[in-house]
Amino acid sequence: MSTARRDPFPALADQPLLRVNELVKHFPVKGGLFGRTSGSVRAVDGVSFELAKGETLGLVGESGCGKSTTGRCILRLIEPTSGEVWFEGRNVVGLGREAMRALCRDMQIIFQDPYASLDPRMTVGAIVGEALVIHNLTKTETQYRERIVELLETVGLHADHLRRYPHEFSGGQRQRIGIARALAVSPKLIVCDEPVSALDVSIQAQVINLLEDLQQKFDLTYLFIAHDLSVVEHISDRVAVMYLGRIVEIAPARELYTTPRHPYTEALLSAVPIPEPGLKRTRIRLVGDVPNPINPPSGCHFHPRCPKVMERCKTESPAFRQVSGGHWAACHLNDSAGLT
């Protein structure tokens, strides 16, 4: 029996916290004199994965591959075109406003840009406390203030920061404010949308360490989005690699870094520095840019840039195939390696 299929659900848990099933988001492209729809950007084109409670899944790919759109569709910040998002056994897609508002307590997001995601006119206390008010989580003024102080201290800030404004903080501190804001409602799942991309490398490590500590402390589940495999290496239990709106490989983190089964993952990995002095990877430089998602290439979408392209890749779309345990990849090179 062939195991090739498009929806990889590695057996992680009987009841995953999150199950994304064939998620699609197409943005219409308007053009011409009358602004008619002339096509669509296939930003997310059939993405499926599961996330177990307490797990971190790294979601990696170049700019424009659809990873942030996937994260936003899960939280319904963007309405998906089709597909299902099951959170604790409930399909989030199609939930009414009230039900969705209640669910916002369980699912939060940390944004990429700590400069743009905080309202400059609000004090840090008001930013962190906003969700406490919306969800009516504290009963008295004293409780409200104490909870904000507790949240600030949890992310490594101080009580006296609550009266200050975002512009008074460094990039790393602003991202800590964003994390405190997400924690205010005691969520179960946090979509970390490139939370360290805008920060200096030295600060990146501090924020990632903080996120790891918070995960332990509060039993959090992360979907950790990044464009760089080196960022997600240590925080992820599993890693999914996206290309042109689709997941092309998903595997336990260690396995993906040691034995990648997709040429695109190999190319991304070749850019990850090895910490041991004297050891260097041979850099695989991909030719050309990411193709236009309005009109993706035929066959394997990666074929115009693939260093291992074969004739059949130009016409045949590769099946998403299980290559071992929880390791799946979409590449014809794995056809003979599929589990039976």
**Part of the chain binding ligand SF4 (CB under 6 A), chosen from 17-25, 65-73, 131-139, 329-337:** 329-337
* Shortest distance in whole angstroms from residue 215 CB to ligand SF4: 33
Backbone φ and ψ for 160, nearest 5 degrees, come out as: -75, -5
Check residue 308 for interaction with ligand SF4 (CB under 6 A): yes
Q: Does residue 306 belong to the site contacting ligand SF4 (CB under 6 A)?
A: yes
Least distance (Å) between residue 303 CB and ligand SF4:
4
Cβ 330 to ligand SF4, closest distance in Å? 7
* Contact partners, residue 93, CB within 8 Å, separation at least 6: 76, 80, 83, 84, 85
**Distance in Å, CB of 282 to ligand SF4, minimum:** 18
| Site membership for ligand SF4, residue 313 (CB under 6 A) | yes
Select the residue interacting with ligand SF4 from 51, 131, 223, 331 (CB under 6 A). 331
Per CB under 6 A, 315 contacts ligand SF4? no
Q: What is the DSSP string of 186-241?
A: --SEEEEESTTTTS-HHHHHHHHHHHHHHHHHHT-EEEEEES-HHHHTTT-SEEEE
Residue 61 vs 263, nearer CB to ligand SF4: 263
Contact 107, 188 (CB under 8 A): yes
Helix (H/G/I), strand (E/B), else coil: 272: coil
Among 261, 303, 321, 327, binds ligand SF4 (CB under 6 A): 303
Q: Is 318 in the site for ligand SF4 (CB under 6 A)?
A: yes
Beta bridge partners of 161: none
Supply φ then ψ for residue 10, to 5 degrees.
Answer: -55, 135
Residue 340 · residue 2 · CB < 8 Å: yes
The residues pairing with 328 across neighbouring beta strands, listed in sequence order, are 250, 322
Residues of span 262-301 touching ligand SF4 by CB under 6 A: 262-263, 300
**Binding flag, residue 309, ligand SF4 (CB under 6 A):** yes
Question: What does the alpha-carbon distance between residue 291 and residue 304 come to, in Å, rounded to a whole number?
Answer: 8
302 lines the binding site for ligand SF4 (CB under 6 A)? yes
Residue closer to ligand SF4 by CB (options 151, 268) is 268
Beta partners for 58?
Answer: 224, 239
Interacting residue with ligand SF4 among 7, 333, 335, 337 (CB under 6 A): 333
Residues lying near ligand SF4 in the complex (CB under 6 A) are found at 262-263, 300, 302-303, 306, 308-310, 313, 318, 331-333
